[in-house]
Amino acid sequence: RRAPAPDLFDDFFERFFQGQPQRPRKERSLGSGFIISKDGFILTNEHVVDGADEVEVRLSDGRVFTAAIKGLDAKLDLALLKIDTEEDLPVADLGDSEDVRVGEWVMAIGNPFGLDHTVTVGIVSAKGRVIGAGPYDDFIQTDASINPGNSGGPLFNARGEVIGINTAIVARGQG
């Protein structure tokens, strides 16, 4: 019987990486949000900022801020952020999601796949949708295109009022 041949790859990688400490990698998350007060409070999803050491906010005019996380609610998947700025910020008008009707036109704004300020439109497909995402399942379903990076962004009605927050994607049976 012959002895097993030495594994050349093991030798190479052992020499190459020997003594190289594992460097911690910074994980990045991408999401969206919207301003709810002129002094810089922003609403987004909790899962967008969960575990973040630093939260960077980029406004539509290109300005970039470091945000402080002021509140988190994992059950509702909501996060409240705060940025500091000298001037008043434009605020999204809040509507009433109870008044939404199936068939009503809606618009989603976000950063899908990192593509800043993308707008998609669709209709409300269903209300009160249960998808098993948590204890407060009561989702507005829309056929507006929503992708990774849209999380935390606003869902507007035709009057320009925020009626929901883009939160979950169910991508079964596309086609």
The domain locations on the chain are 34-82, 97-165
Q: Give the total residue count for the chain.
A: 175
Cα pseudo-dihedral 52, 71, 108, 170, rounded to 10: 70
Q: For residue 117, indicate whether it is catalytic.
A: no
What is the band of 29 on the pLDDT scale with cuts at 50, 70, 90? Answer: confident
- Checking if the pLDDT of 45 tops 90, the result is yes
CATH code linked to domain 97-165: 2.40.10.10
Q: For residue 151, indicate whether it is catalytic.
A: yes
Q: For residue 77, indicate whether it is catalytic.
A: yes
Q: Are 118 and 145 in contact (CB under 8 A)?
A: no
Question: Is 34-82's fold the same as 97-165's?
Answer: yes
Report the chain's mean pLDDT, rounded to a whole number.
84
User: Of 10-24, 90-104, 147-161, which range is least confident?
Assistant: 10-24
Give pLDDT tens digits for 59-78. Answer: 989 999 999 999 999 988 99
- Please tell me the predicted confidence (pLDDT) of residue 174: 43
CATH code matching the domain that covers 34-82, chosen among 3.40.50.620, 2.40.10.10, 4.10.95.10, 3.40.50.300: 2.40.10.10
Residue burial 36-46, b: 16+ Cβ < 10 Å; e: rest: beeebbbbbbb
List the catalytic residue out of 7, 10, 11, 47. 47
